[in-house]
Amino acid sequence: MLKRGFPDLIHQQIDDYGKIRVYEDHQERYLLFDTDAKQGGILRSNPRFSTLKYQHVMQSVAFLGLDIKNILLIGLGGGSMANFFQVIFPNSKVKVVELRAGVCEVAKKYFFLQNLPPLSLEIKDIVGYFSNNGEERFDVIILDAFMNEGMPSKINHPSFFNTCKEKLSHQGILVMNYWNSQYKENSHNLTIAKYIFDQRIMIAPVSGCSNMICFLFKNITPPNSLLGNIDSNIEKANDYYKIPYQQYLQKIIDKKKEG
């Protein structure tokens, strides 16, 4: 939700799906659609740093010691996730599939999206993209695709979870962002997702947020904790964000509910 006060509207455009708005106050700049739910956000003093805590929990997949060569981001937002994975895995392929061309324009202009190799950015519907790219496989799929009403039903659906599993490599992981406000629907779909992924799931609620992050493992056994066996990529993150990043993650992952 928006902070109290009077943030400045610095950009607005409208496409076939609704508004795309950019606001900023003295601390941060953030992306909104038609509602007050933030779709992206950066600190003005440190534009690399996402102000959305749940995104940092999703990024912890980078520290699980996996050999990650191909990454797919479904949904761009402000581009913080894409920038992060380009830096942490400079020799890997990072692909973003985003439905709205205007979101991509705004991410580049207002949120410093670095659209350079290894990043590949495609403006497409993800269901259609999967249908036309049958041979591609990914080590990590990040699913963070929201419209005004939440995650679109054709994505928040068992058939799409099945497709994601097919598109994962043998060691692959699907990482999904869910809103707790969609709990009833999410609870049903997560039960099915657990079945599809043979109970190989880890759920990490984000402390102080209405988000819960779901890690679904195609074949490997989930770790006991997201931060239990941090690999050397954490040093890259420390340098990228200019903070002790592991300590930050330990603060925002709700360890009492993780599992």
| pLDDT above 80 (res 257) | no
**Residue the block writes with tokens 């993650």:** 249
Q: Do 24 and 37 contact (CB within 8 A), yes or no?
A: no
| pLDDT at residue 184 in the model | 61
Amino acid 179: pLDDT: 76
3-state secondary structure of 183: helix
What pLDDT does 148 receive? 66
Token pair, residue 82, equals 């894409």
Q: Say if residue 189 is in the same domain as residue 81.
A: yes
Maximum distance among all alpha carbons in the chain? 50
- Clarify whether residues 38 and 59 are in a common domain: no
Amino acid letter for position 253: I
Q: What is the pLDDT of residue 225?
A: 83
Q: Report the sign of the C-alpha dihedral through residues 157, 187, 230, 52, in that order.
A: positive
Which one is predicted more confidently, 3 or 227? 227
Structure-token match 């690999």, residue found: 231
Q: Are residues 61 and 183 in the same domain?
A: yes
**3 inside domain:** no
Each residue of 106-138: pLDDT tens digit?
Answer: 999 999 998 777 899 999 999 999 999 888 999
Query: Given this model, what pLDDT does residue 15 score?
Result: 96
Regarding whether 127 and 21 lie in a shared domain, the answer is no
- The reply to whether 72 falls in a domain is yes
More confidently predicted of 156 and 159? 159
CATH number of the domain bearing residue 166? 3.40.50.150
Whether residue 119 sits in one domain with residue 16: no
237 is in which domain, residue-wise? 53-252
Tell me the pLDDT band of 3, cut-offs 50, 70 and 90. low
H or E element, residue 140: strand 138-143
Q: Which residues contact 88 (CB under 8 A, 6 or more apart)?
A: 62, 233, 236, 237, 240
Task: State whether 133 and 22 are in the same domain.
Answer: no
Looking at the structure of the chain, the number of domains it has is 2
- Chain mean pLDDT for the chain: 90
Whether 48 maps to a domain, the answer reads no
Cis peptide before 205 (omega within 30 of 0): no
User: If pLDDT is split at 50, 70 and 90, which confidence band does 240 have?
Assistant: very high
Please check whether residue 92 lies inside any domain of the structure. Answer: yes
